[in-house]
Every structure is written in structure tokens, then in C-alpha cells.
Structure 1
Amino acid sequence: MLAAEQEFDGCFTIVNGRRQPVDRWADLLFQSAYWQDDQRTIWHLDELDPVYCSRIYGFIVRQEDEVGTQLAWDATRGPDPSGDVAWDAATRSVDALLELVSERGWISRTELMQALSRRMRGRPAVEGECFCGYPVAEGWVHSSCYAGMEMA
């Protein structure tokens, strides 16, 4: 039996070319392309209709305090880095996360929530990209592109 080919794509582990589900949906907050439903199916945000994106948005907003507490807990109980440079970088990273989650409404400023907000208005999830997956650039015609189309 051959060993599985494993890669990493943002927050997902990729095994033999397929994204593997994350353990917690909150792990997706700091990216803007995917959502994982309660059946652990991974969806590209541009495949989802605006109404479904608004339901996801509402679900996440209701979880703000709980998720902020969990992220803060996870950040402060991780392994200690070794070396002065690593320690300084880790401390700055934890401090920035703790400052972020201490503010009311912090969750709406995450990459996922910004992407969901764009989808709720019928726009592509990633700013500056078309539904076809190509960047929106001067002179390019995207008039036949639509939400949910096969990605490039």
C-alpha cells in the first residue's frame, strides 16, 4: 500500500488531491474561499447562493463570544517556542489575537465573514476575482461568468 500524498492548503490538509475536513468550523475564520457544513462537506463560497451565505453569516455572528474565548484559550495554552526570535514572534501573534477577540464585533472583520458579506450581495467571495476564478482586470470580459460556475 502506498503512503497517502499529503499537502497543506491554508487551513485544510490535502490528501491525494482532496481537501480533508477541519475539526472546528472556527478554523476557517481566517480564510476567504471555503465553508464546511455540519455534514463536513467542504464548499467553495462561490458555489453557495446568497441566502445560504446569509444563514452562515448569522450562525457565525451568534457564536462570536464562544469562538473568541476558544481562540484565546487555544492561543495561550500552546507549546512554548524555543529561541528569543521565535518567542518574540509568538508573543506578538498571541497578543494580536487576544486584542482582536476582545473587541465587540471582531468576528465580522475576519476574512471568512468579509467573503460571506460579499457573497450575500451576489459578488464573488474573493475581492478582485471573478466567479470564474480569474482576476478582474481591465480589458477582460467576464459577462458570461456566474456564481457557482465551474472554477478554473
Structure 2
Amino acid sequence: MDSSEWGWVTHWTDLLYQDEVWRDAQGTILRLDDMEPDYCGRVRSFCLRNAEHALNGILYEMAHGPMPSGDVAVDGFNREWDMLDAAGGDPKAWLEQADLLIALKYRSEGLPARPAVCHCGYPFIGDDGEPWDHGGCYPGIVVD
């Protein structure tokens, strides 16, 4: 992986909405699936210990509205507000909903960062190689 592709990462919170990489303290970009499970667990613990600080930083950035403007920025902005609302003001609950923290949890359990099968029981990628839409799935759903 070419680390220059991730040159925009200035703080670990920049990585919250992806489930592919982590940037260590030396600035090295690491693929989550290449990281040892115990290291992923330590990274996840670090993030959760800093949840309140991270939330305050995100709230400060959000006070200015979606940046840059446009549909993608507005969608991202709305997603963050929805996550904050669902967490009920609990910084750790908010952070645990982030794609990065979910991926780190999987990796800390020795699983791939991106599971091949959704909790509904169906694969994320179909036999034809096309992604399936799991937007309506939720934990506990059973699809027959």
C-alpha cells in the first residue's frame, strides 16, 4: 500500500469512517488486516480512552457545517449527527459506531476487518462480485 494515498490523514479521527487502515504514531499507514489482533485491541482501547476528546474535536468541526459543500459532504455531516443522536451523548457509544472501531473489534477477535457475511446471514459481495445492499440490516435481523 502506498502511504502517499493516505497523506490527508493528520489525526486518527480522520480514519473513523473507513475500515481499511490505521496510522500509527510514526505516521506509517497500516492495513488493519495485516495488524495482529492484540495490537488492534490496543488501538481500539486507545481510541475509546480518547473518545471524549475525539467527540469534542468532531463537534467543533461540525459547528461550521458540512465542509466542503456538496451532496457528499452533507451526507457525511448528516451521518455524523445521526450517530451522535443514537449514542445519546455518550462519547464511547458514539465512537463504537464508527467503521474504524467496528473493524478494529473484528480484528481484535482474529476476524477480517471487513466480514464476508453480514449479521443478516447474507454475504456483502455476491457470487457475481457485485456488492449487496445491506442498508436495511440491523443486529438481530433474521432473513429467511
TM-score, scaled to structure 2: 0.65
Whole-angstrom CA distance in 2 between matches of 1:61 and 1:71: 15
- What residue in structure 2 maps to residue 107 of structure 1? 95
Instruction: Tell me the secondary structure at the aligned position of residue 27 of structure 1.
Output: helix
Instruction: Tell me the secondary structure at the aligned position of residue 30 of structure 2.
Output: strand
- What residue in structure 2 maps to residue 60 of structure 1? 47
Which structure 2 residue ranges, 5 or more long, are not aligned?
118-123, 128-144
Looking at secondary structure, tell me which structure has more strand per residue.
1
CA RMSD of aligned residues (A): 3.1
> Deviation above 3 Å: which 4+ runs of structure 1?
78-81, 92-96, 135-138
Q: CA deviation at 1:98?
A: 3.3
TM-score, scaled to structure 1: 0.62
Q: Tell me the matched-pair count.
A: 113
Work out whether residues 83 and 97 of structure 2, in 8 Å CA contact, stay in contact via their aligned partners in 1: no
- What residue in structure 2 maps to residue 117 of structure 1? 105
Instruction: Tell me the secondary structure at the aligned position of residue 104 of structure 2.
Output: helix
Q: CA deviation at 1:69?
A: 1.3
**Identity value in percent:** 26
Looking at secondary structure, tell me which structure has more helix per residue.
2
Which structure 1 residue ranges, 5 or more long, are not aligned?
1-11, 130-134, 139-152
Pick the structure with greater CA Rg. Answer: 1
